[in-house]
Amino acid sequence: MAKLFEQLQNRASLTESIRALMDKCGDGKEMSAEAKDQLTKMEGEFDSLNAKIQTEQKQLDRERVIGEKIADAVDNGNTKHAELLTAFSNVLRHGTVQAKHLYTALQMDNPTQAGYLVAPEKFVSELIKELADTTFMRQKARVLPPLRFAQSLGYPTQTGAMSSFTWGTELQAPTADTSLAFGKREFKPHAGTSEILISKTLARNVADIDALIRNAIAEEIGAALEEAYMTGDGVNKPLGLFTASADGINTDRDVYLGNTATEMKFDGLIEAQYSLKTQYQAGAEWVFNRLALKQLAKLKNSDGQYIWQAAVTLGTPNMLLGKPVNITEFAPSTFTAGLYAGLYGNLKGYWIVDSLAMEIQVLNELYARTNQVDYLARVETDGAPVEPWSFVRIRLA
């Protein structure tokens, strides 16, 4: 934690140095070759620090999770549930279970190698919680209750608003509305798989094998999920925020006025922020790639004040125009004409649904020569923006 605090302080100091150099050279004036070289070097250090800060934050999250003790196996006196959890842990640790009747209850495919295990509901619930620590979207979006038995979840969406209200006299007949319309979208959790190698010695001796495996799965799958939440095409995976689609956020929510073909500008950010209706402003946040921060750190308002405020203390977000900034590696990072550069909106308008169906296969022999156990994990999840009017995408001109 001390290391992260030091990195935040160093980034704040570096930001001030970059701004001081820019102010010294003056707005609109041609920089000397020496000043340009100095600025390029500082910008490289700025990018490097941002990457280190993200890595350190994720490491702190992992250490917190792995340090937690496994919950009490006895759930409301349900001894069968306790036995299943114990058997599941034994398979994760040894690849076998001790009680034959529990072995039968757990295995699904391969009766000789522990096969595919249906992970106990408590294990999956804890994994879902840990996934939230690995991606900001699962903390900010609306995560629906996991599906237990249904294969999909349909929900109605309003595709057209009423527009028939008219003023008139007491006896005037109302005008029938023809514009109100509803559609239906469907969440269908898609399967995703992950393969994790762990030392046999570690698997035998670690105090909490369940937490170790959950943490490894969450780290591996969390990155894939966050990428899908940003840029997924919705085909056997979640539909992303930066994917233009009639099933999610269409191009009518794109704003490019005020930006250039290669850079976001203060006027462009103002256009984006005030393109969002008042009812969504209270919980609105920004989403950018860390490489976009170089542009944001240089922007000034009409009074000549820098508008990006870097976080310098633990637990506080970066701020832009009074709103928190979320940084992800999977937001757009190519700044050329017509491409997306960021997003502003209320992330509760993005919905996520998981399935409690999960399988883990333990392969003891595949990597025996390197003293490793191979864990194959399969999870099912889906996500999509269901309230497109709560988002504004920032596009370059």
Answer whether residue 169 is part of any domain. Answer: no
β pairing state of 323-327 and 285-288: parallel
Q: How far is CA 142 from CA 97, 315, 351, 385, in A?
A: 38, 22, 5, 10
Distance CA(191)–CA(173), nearest Å, equals 54
Answer whether residue 392 is part of any domain. Answer: yes
The SS3 assignment for 33 reads helix
Residue 359's beta-bridge partner residues?
118, 378
Answer whether residue 359 is part of any domain. Answer: yes
CA dihedral 46, 317, 273, 305 (to 10 degrees): -60
Tally of domains in the chain: 1
Answer whether residue 191 is part of any domain. Answer: yes
Q: Which helix (H) or strand (E) holds 378?
A: strand 372-385
In contact, 234 and 384? CB cutoff 8 Å: yes
All residue ranges of the chain with pLDDT < 50 are 68-76, 97-116
pLDDT at position 368 is 84
Looking at the chain, list the stretches that DSSP marks H as alpha helix, in order from N- to C-terminal side.
2-25, 33-66, 79-94, 100-106, 121-134, 136-140, 200-205, 209-231, 266-273, 278-281, 293-298
Structural domain that includes position 127: 117-157+181-289+328-397
In contact, 195 and 46? CB cutoff 8 Å: no
Q: Quick one: which of 152, 146, 176, 151 has its CA closest to 163?
A: 176
pLDDT at position 2 is 75
Answer whether residue 15 is part of any domain. Answer: no
- Strand extents, DSSP E, 284-371: 285-288, 308-309, 318-320, 323-327, 340-345, 350-354, 359-363
Residue 382 belongs to domain with CATH number: 3.30.2400.10
The SS3 assignment for 227 reads helix
Q: Which amino acid is at 231?
A: T
Answer whether residue 79 is part of any domain. Answer: no
In contact, 203 and 196? CB cutoff 8 Å: no
**Assigned token pair, 305:** 């004040």
Answer whether residue 215 is part of any domain. Answer: yes
pTM > 0.85: yes or no = no
Answer whether residue 385 is part of any domain. Answer: yes
